[in-house]
Structure 1
């Protein structure tokens, strides 16, 4: 049986792609992504992104673990069969559950970090205002992520948010082992903030953002979502939601790292 990935790749015009291969998961199953043999070219990423409506293949910049660049992408250290479908999840409920999990540590330390919010989940942030078309901004962000080691990946996905669930990315396992949950949040961010998934590492995620918060109050609401989504951005980064929110003001790229 021909996989969706193989079928979509075969429909591309000849000589569209550089040398590369499809990658099978370590635990077996059809390959969920194609990976270039050499480092990615920003121009090629943009061309493949522009073809996405017809090709059904979303491009990603894929990077490996610094101590072992084969992990996870070259080695196929992914588990697509273990991931749920993003549409199964209510994003507000999901973030509220993660928020609760992030606020059960030492109360003095936690309350200071999450101020001005309390234990109760503050709710979803309102949508942002688009500064420019999301796909165009994604092309611009790629220029800053290519570092000579990032490879081009192609994933059969209808939207960029779904790519993590499709490939079975499992590296944020200390926070959630289900990339379907991650993709569900990313779908919501695509709709509200013009987000596009651009780069994925071993346990890192880079997004372009066409509608970032531009006011302090809005940035705080977005920061609360980020804290629930990836608490290490605050705990091991800015230290508090207020400091982190300042970093989000007008920023057209968001990055996340899970310990």
Structure 2
């Protein structure tokens, strides 16, 4: 059963429940403290907070541009199998581009999971701070608060039927990876755009070997991060992951 948070007497902005997919969606733009303020609704209703970013330039809306029926459930997948498959697919594309140097020091064989990080702070407090910083920097323009009826933050993209990574992978596969990152690195899904995902990271890698190991997983998860922003995985690990508490992913 989904509880309508409007009926709980919480200090929420005006908003309404949507049916398919099921979510509560605010009527007003998010403020700097919005994500953190939604935690009380999570405790009361079991619905997890996320900021949903509209793209007015392309007339995309959170009413229409979701497809639950064509997204698998993360319960149906095995983490290692997912990452091996995604890594192999990316390596095939790398080979086609004659760009094998991109993955050094790795080889086309899947290198295995990165070790868990040590938390720097509480995961929810980190998420609230990262969300506030992104809003303050203007990186979440037209964002509105959302509450999604899921068991954990990592399941939000799949539960919404989000199609942002559809040119790379089924969203259910990526939520499987996000679940593991939630366990190992204390991530929270902070914001969804129509082709971008922002997560907070409470336990980021703090050495280059650890950052490289995480970078391999990122390259399988979202190869455009490296292909369209950095020359190599090593550069990506150093500049985008080392001690960073915000990870962002973008799919072409």
Output the TM-score relative to the length of structure 2.
0.91
C-alpha displacement of 1:45? 2.1
Question: Matches of 2:79 and 2:197 in 1, distance apart?
Answer: 18
- Divergent runs of 4+, >6 A: none
Which residue number in structure 1 is paired with residue 235 of structure 2?
Answer: 243
Say if 2:78 is the partner of 1:90: yes
C-alpha displacement of 1:117? 0.5
What RMSD in Å do the two structures reach over aligned CA positions? 1.7
Listed as ranges, the gaps of 5+ residues in structure 2 are: none
Seen in structure 2, the aligned counterparts of structure 1 residues 72 and 110 have a Cα distance that, compared at 3 Å, is: farther
Question: Matches of 1:47 and 1:88 in 2, distance apart?
Answer: 33
Which residue number in structure 2 is paired with residue 203 of structure 1?
Answer: 195
Please point out which of 23, 28, 31 is paired with 1:33. 23
Which residue number in structure 2 is paired with residue 27 of structure 1?
Answer: none
Q: Deviations for 1:159-185, whole angstroms, at most 9, x for unmatched residues?
A: 100111111101211001x32111111
Question: Matches of 2:188 and 2:237 in 1, distance apart?
Answer: 20
Question: Matches of 1:92 and 1:132 in 2, distance apart?
Answer: 28
C-alpha displacement of 1:157? 1.2
Which residue number in structure 1 is paired with residue 57 of structure 2?
Answer: 67
Say if 2:177 is the partner of 1:185: yes
Listed as ranges, the gaps of 5+ residues in structure 1 are: 25-29
C-alpha displacement of 1:106? 5.3
Say if 2:4 is the partner of 1:12: no
Which residue number in structure 1 is paired with residue 93 of structure 2?
Answer: 105
Seen in structure 2, the aligned counterparts of structure 1 residues 43 and 112 have a Cα distance that, compared at 3 Å, is: same
C-alpha displacement of 1:19? 2.2
Question: Matches of 1:170 and 1:103 in 2, distance apart?
Answer: 23
Output the TM-score relative to the length of structure 1.
0.89
User: What is the number of equivalent residue pairs in this alignment?
Assistant: 246
C-alpha displacement of 1:80? 1.5
Seen in structure 2, the aligned counterparts of structure 1 residues 136 and 97 have a Cα distance that, compared at 3 Å, is: same
Which residue number in structure 2 is paired with residue 253 of structure 1?
Answer: 246
CA contact (8 A) 2:23 2:146 kept: yes
Question: Matches of 2:197 and 2:54 in 1, distance apart?
Answer: 12
C-alpha displacement of 1:66? 5.3
Which residue number in structure 2 is paired with residue 140 of structure 1?
Answer: 129
* Partner SS for 1:254: strand
Q: Deviations for 1:155-210, whole angstroms, at most 9, x for unmatched residues?
A: 1111100111111101211001x321111110000000010100000110000001
